[in-house]
Structure 1
Amino acid sequence: MLNIVGFGCGSYENMTIEAVRTIEKSELVVGFKTYIDLMREYFPDKEYYENGMMQERQRCEYALNEAVTKEVSLVCSGDSGVYGMACLAYELAGAMDNSPEIKVVSGVTAANSGAAIIGAPLSHDFSVISLSDLLTKKSVIEKRLRAAAMSDMVICLYNPSSKKRADYLAWACSICLEYKDEDTVCGVVRNIGRDMESSKILTLGQLKEYNADMFTTVFIGNKSTVRMGEKMVTPRGYNNKSEKSIIIFAGTTEGRHLADYASGLNIDTHIFVATEYGEMILKDDKSFDGNKCIIHTGRLDEAEIKEEIEKINPMAVFDATHPFAVQVTENIKNACEKTTTKYIRIKRDKENYNLVNREKVRSAGSAEEAAIILSAPCYKNKKVLLTTGSKTVDVYSHLEGFKDNYYLRMLPNVQMLGEVLKSGIKNSNVICMQGPFSENMNYEMIKNYGIEVMVTKNSGNTGGTQEKINAAMRAGTEVIIIEDTGSDECIGIGLSEALKYITEIVEK
């Protein structure tokens, strides 16, 4: 019988009762030399086998062979299934003709014991990542760090530094700083459960300069983690003071105005944006108080929206997504209906644009219809500027001359740019800029690229439709306007009504 026993941080008091009893009944105890020295202190009458660092396989093979006829305990620090020997024992046993029975005895890993010392940093979703590159490539470690930091999970780092990896903690912090604020609450615990045990609270910026070692366990908080004296605490959400909350699905100027307004009120406001760029635009707005709002970043399907609504339980959901984001609106409406949550569509007023030369303007009911118009022989070899965003660029990619003659103006987003370039459009024909664009800016762009046809949406007064049309008329450029014929824009309330409604919720 082979027992793979995690004995925790090293002190007898922190071993589980099951671990103690398992070792007590074992005939042989096998382990790394440093661990066996600890076991001898607590269980002096046992037979022991020990070896050194990087001899895990030999140690495991010896324990397996002996366990065929004996009760053997293979001991590991922390939990034997967390960066421990349990996996190796199972792998090696699978290749044996006569393998012993294996039992894993859980222990308290450093993430848990260290968290208890420093407060309650792991009360919400978290990831545990080892910075040791002995068995994992550094490139793989980086991918995992980025994924955890990007998703705003609390991160617990094992093996943060060594003589050969003295700069790895600073490297890991630099990656996290790409996604987390410099003042993110962090903590370190050294020598858990041993003499000279210590802990310290730092910011992420300070952690980058911290001199850690192999006996250090590192905790990097999320956006909600707070410092309480010399402790770090990540709230789970049980003690939310406000019983009132709203959800805003942003993505438009109206959405940003709603978010700005709500951030100054005594109400829990959850703002959902599809991209990191949308989050950046919100945070860059000086009137936005990020301390009173929670920003959720990422595209959600209907089921995920429903899950978020059920979790937050808002008094109302405000849909301020783009008028042309028909599927997104449909998903939000359906999720609200299934959760019996009040749904409010923010209506963008249509623009009654003024035309200097009506012969230069054509209307289309969709991007597909605009592409049909552009497929006509009269548009062959003409330079076309698409100002309709990145999502519909594929609709035009089949048209003759697309690669050389079509230009796209889009938001400066790396991920979206990568998808756009797959359509076959030239790199030099993609213009990445953030609006708003004045009439003069549009005019200069049209003249600079020699644009003969511009495709735009009727996106309302805040969408800059009139400025684009004026610029095109000045330049003698033809315009194809995509009208939002398929959306439900007639149903909803205006921005001023929405602001008034939020105020009423707060005052109730």
Structure 2
Amino acid sequence: MICVLGGTQDSREIIRSIADSNYPVMASVATAYGRQLIDDERVMVNDHTLDCQGMIDWFGECGISMVIDATHPYARDVSTNAIQACAALSIPYLRYEREEVPLPDYARLHTVETAAEAARLSAGLGEVIFLTTGSRSLGVFRQEPLLAAKRIIARVLPDPAVIAECFRLGFTPRDVVAMQGPFSRELNIQLFREYRTQVIVTKNSGTVGGSDTKLKAAMDLELPIVVIDRPKVIYPCIVHSVEDVLRFIGQRRQSDGIYHRTPKN
């Protein structure tokens, strides 16, 4: 049984491709919303967050013989836990990671390593900060004293739990943009103008994550951009295409006990 750690658009493509190739596949995502997006009766889905020991237990219970880590490029803890769990169980681990978007030569673009650095830097660049960094780091921005008097806009997934977390952190409804991306350059421009944005904070999530259109929109409006770099993780094995994922599975299937599922008539 192959396990895909997902929650991203490209992870769903990988899951479909594995199932279409008649390999038995399960998925693990972090939220009920992520489970709904898979929507494939061939795939059993876990939607509970697992730490390293939780992964070891779940992989063992489900007879997992290979793990494909297709989580978000910034999900460092999940990847680290998966690497350790696979090592503990002596099962193959493969990291699929979408390519980064090359950063443009733009004088108002700043790169930082952490959300905390982004929060401090953005405070000195404008009064209205538009966050396109997802929900995980919202608390860092809300707790930064330098941003106390600034208006912070959070663009997040339209997931009830995520929206509830925004309100818990003190965001008001007028400052929460709950939409499913990725977004076109034109829509980004419209949103940035609507909220009178003065600073964009984002991650380099790749083209699939809409980084290219966010950067272009911000540059069109001549806005300062703060980009949080991807976390540094040493992956034992990494690929950047669905084709390479399937090739890896094919090479391993005999030695690791992964066999094609017999299609139903």
**Same fold at TM > 0.5:** yes
**Equivalent residue number for residue 258 of structure 1:** 14
What do the CA deviations read for 1:275-317 (whole angstroms, capped 9, x no partner)?
Answer: 111111111xxxxxx2321111121111111111111222310
Q: Counterparts of 1:460 and 1:291 in 2: how far apart (Å)?
A: 29
Query: The residue matched to 1:462 in structure 2 has which SS?
Result: coil
Aligned-partner SS, 2:101: coil
1:367 to 106, 111, 115: 115
- Residues 347 and 489, structure 1, Cα contact 8 Å, conserved in 2: no
The answer to whether the aligner puts 1:500 opposite 2:247 as a matched pair is yes
When normalised by structure 1's length, the TM-score is 0.48
Match for 1:412: what amino acid?
P
Alpha-carbon separation, structure 2, partners of 1:258 and 1:301: 23
User: 1:384 & 1:428 partners in 2: Cα distance?
Assistant: 14
User: Paired residue for 2:187, among 420, 424, 441?
Assistant: 441
Counterpart amino acid of residue 160 in structure 2: V
**Contact (CA 8 Å) 1:348, 1:489: kept in 2 or not?**
no
2:77 equivalent to 1:327: yes
Q: Which residue pairs with 2:58 in the alignment?
A: 308
- Residue 248 of structure 1 corresponds to 4
Q: 1:478 to 1:420 in 2, by over 3 A?
A: same
Give the distance between the partners of 1:317 and 1:265, measured in 2 at CA: 16
Deviation digits for residues 488-508 of structure 1 (CA, Å, limit 9, x no counterpart): 469511222102223443469
How many residues are treated as equivalent by the alignment?
253
| Higher Cα radius of gyration | 1
Provide the C-alpha distance between the structure 1 equivalents of 2:235 and 2:229, rounded to a whole number of angstroms.
11
Task: Check whether the contact 1:324–1:487 (CA below 8 A) recurs between aligned residues.
Answer: no
User: Which of the numbers 31, 36, 39 marks the counterpart of 1:280?
Assistant: 36
Q: 1:341 aligns with which of 63, 85, 91?
A: 91
Deviations 1:298-342 (A, max 9, x none): 211111111111112223100111111111111111111111111
1:420-439 alpha-carbon deviations (Å, 9 max, x no partner): 22222222101000012111
C-alpha separation between the residues in 1 aligned to 2:49 and 2:149? 29
The reply on whether 1:389 has 2:134 as its aligned counterpart is yes
2:200 is the counterpart of 1:454: yes
Q: Read off the aligned partner of 2:111 and give its amino acid letter.
A: S
Unaligned runs of 5+ in 1: 1-244, 284-289
1:399 and 1:420 mapped to 2: Cα distance?
A: 18
User: Does the residue aligned with 1:345 lie in a helix, a strand or coil?
Assistant: strand
Are 1:431 and 2:177 an aligned pair? yes
What is aligned with 2:256?
none
| Matched position secondary structure for 1:447 | helix
Note if contact 1:454-1:480 (Cα within 8 Å) is conserved in structure 2: yes
CA contact (8 A) 1:306 1:338 kept: yes
Match of 2:4, SS state, is strand
User: SS of the residue aligned with 1:299?
Assistant: coil
State the secondary structure of the residue aligned to 2:68: strand
Q: Which whole-Å deviations, capped at 9, do the CAs of 1:349-407 have from their partners, x for residues lacking one?
A: 1211334xx1211111111111121243x53xx11100001110111113445476110
The one-character-per-residue Cα deviations of 1:194-244 (angstroms, maximum 9, x if unpaired) are xxxxxxxxxxxxxxxxxxxxxxxxxxxxxxxxxxxxxxxxxxxxxxxxxxx
2:173 is equivalent to residue 417 of structure 1: no
Q: Residues 132 and 200 of structure 2 are in contact (CA less than 8 Å); yes or no, is this contact kept in structure 1?
A: yes
Q: CA deviation at 1:347?
A: 2.2
Taking the TM superposition and a 5 Å limit, the aligned residue runs for 1:468-487 are: 468-487=214-233
Residues 424 and 374 of structure 1: is their aligned pair in 2 closer, same or farther, counting only changes over 3 Å?
same
487-496 or 303-312: which moved more? Answer: 487-496
Q: What is the CA–CA distance in structure 2 between the aligned matches of 1:302 and 1:315, rounded to whole Å? A: 16
Aligned-partner SS, 1:292:
coil
Does the C-alpha gap of structure 1 residues 282 and 395 become closer, same or farther in structure 2, counting only changes over 3 Å?
A: same
Equivalent position amino acid for 1:484 in 2: R
Given that residues 263 and 292 in structure 1 are in contact (C-alpha distance below 8 angstroms), is that contact kept between their aligned partners in structure 2? yes
> Percent identity among equivalent residues?
26
Give the aligned residue type for 1:247: C
1:139-178 paired onto structure 2 within 5 Å: none
Q: Distance in 2 between matches of 1:467 and 1:354?
A: 12
TM-score normalised over the length of structure 2: 0.89
Q: Is the 8 A contact 1:383 1:407 kept in 2?
A: yes
Aligned in 2, Cα 1:443/1:490: closer, same or farther, shift over 3 Å?
farther
Residue equivalent to 1:292: 42
The residue aligned with 1:153 is none
Is the Cα–Cα contact under 8 Å of residues 22 and 260 in structure 2 kept in the other structure? no
Could you say what the CA RMSD is over the residues aligned between the two structures, in angstroms?
A: 2.0
Q: Say which SS state the counterpart of residue 421 (structure 1) adopts.
A: helix
Please give the alpha-carbon distance, in whole angstroms, between the structure 2 residues aligned to 1:332 and 1:318. 9
CA displacement at 1:446 relative to structure 2:
0.5
Q: Give, in whole Å, the separation in 2 of the partners of 1:489 and 1:443.
A: 36
Give the Cα separation in 1 of the matches to 2:235 and 2:107: 27
Q: Tell me if the contact between 2:94 and 2:236 (Cα under 8 Å) persists in the aligned partners.
A: no
Contact 1:247 1:269 in 2 (8 A): yes
